[in-house]
Structure 1
């Protein structure tokens, strides 16, 4: 493929927010100006995209499914590769991440289950210290996708906007990069969300405190920024897919657990 595999010594990249690589992308991929979203224009393949920098050990890559398209079988693929996208000529990319790119290069990837790649779904994926590729969707149970992903050399995130997945958006998992949406049912001035303990953290960004309640389903697993973003983008609860009619601030740990804080 004319690609270059980097050694560990080549790798000191700045710790910047993850974006899509501007040139190493499938023939059908269109990136936005900030290289934070990728859309597949036609067909069901040729949607491979890479991160612009290597991920740090155990760094979580966060993305949101923006558009879902019926009529195909299978959807979003995620994983990691040792291919440095700076040396990957776009015309040399195969149409499929799995199995084509995996067979041609040191790449480890897998498809997310169809039910985990719908519009509005937020997925995190990473390699743990035991060289296992995991994914987490909407704060649900952890999914083991692959074993035996070596950690001794730089790894770039690689994704395939494939099949039913039409467009995706990279997110900053620290929540500071989640834009605050219009307040809707929230107060006009919502204070910035505090950092959370493991028991309290938002199921989407895994960083800020879960401090909202969705109406009418009552789920209380999300910080205000993420809840507003979901309300704006899909208006469907990530936990139960119920239609969201409003978002209110939950007050205190008991409100987060029981749904108290809903308007009468």
Structure 2
């Protein structure tokens, strides 16, 4: 397992009253009800860096799903964490949060309305580029749990056919800078769904917000390597190229932690 570095991303230890974090502070579970599930990034989010989560567990019986966004409120300075990100946190001001769906997240301009861009959901590019941010798509696209049909399900994640809130989907938030203002983008399984908010003041720190709401039960942070892929990533890619589907990883003569990394990351 890679050593924990200064760039290792965690959730803040201040969060909603129904949230339980694991010991690494990278997995958040809502333990009760459907609200009080707001989490924040431990550190402010740098421009052109993505805060990426995977929907790890779902809970039946609720309407609504995970919400993500940005806030200029330092969690330490909040009198109490709001019950909901929408509308409670947003009503405090200086917060930009969206419920995750496949549509309705983009800010329209007159040019976009008259000449809509074609949906690029099946790109074979190895990287997603948004402004100065260049992210390996290998990290951005969700994966099914290993099983007999996982190799087929993985293709559905790659083409973004599955619902954005399906278990295994990966959702990220980032912002780019334009002069003294920021523009927020939401990324779902490697597809840029933004810009979904413009004119965000960047003269103050911005924290990522994740609201583990309603039918979303558990989310976990996915660590993203920028630039050249890590040795871990290269090894995993090589292992996956040598097998028909991820279930076959269990047959390999490898240590269990490495098997788990190859199957789930």
- Structure-1-length-normalised TM-score: 0.60
Match of 1:21 among 12, 20, 36: 12
Matching of residue 153 in structure 1 with residue 201 in structure 2 = no
Unaligned runs of 5+ in 2: 103-162, 246-256
SS of equivalent residue, structure 2 residue 89 = helix
Larger RCO (CA under 8 A, 6+ residues apart)? 2
Check whether the contact 2:173–2:208 (CA below 8 A) recurs between aligned residues: no
In structure 2, what is the equivalent of residue 127 of structure 1? 175
- Structure-2-length-normalised TM-score: 0.60
Q: 2 CA distance for matches of 1:57 and 1:25?
A: 23
Aligned length: 186
Moved over 4 A (4+): 208-211, 213-216, 227-233
Q: 1 CA distance for matches of 2:47 and 2:33?
A: 34
| Higher mean C-alpha deviation, range 165-174 or range 146-155 | 146-155
Deviation for aligned residue 1:229: 5.2
Q: CA RMSD in A?
A: 3.5
Check whether the contact 2:10–2:41 (CA below 8 A) recurs between aligned residues: yes
The equivalences for 1:186-201 within 5 A come to: 192-194=232-234
In structure 2, what is the equivalent of residue 251 of structure 1? none
In structure 1, what is the equivalent of residue 94 of structure 2? 106
Match of 2:84 among 92, 96, 112: 96
Q: 1:116 to 1:214 in 2, by over 3 A?
A: farther
In structure 2, what is the equivalent of residue 61 of structure 1? 51
Q: 1 CA distance for matches of 2:73 and 2:192?
A: 30
Check whether the contact 1:38–1:168 (CA below 8 A) recurs between aligned residues: yes
In structure 1, what is the equivalent of residue 118 of structure 2? none
In structure 1, what is the equivalent of residue 190 of structure 2? 139
Q: 2 CA distance for matches of 1:135 and 1:214?
A: 32
The equivalences for 1:31-42 within 5 A come to: 31-42=21-32
| Higher mean C-alpha deviation, range 119-128 or range 141-150 | 141-150
Q: 1 CA distance for matches of 2:76 and 2:92?
A: 17
Higher helix share: 2
In structure 2, what is the equivalent of residue 168 of structure 1? 219
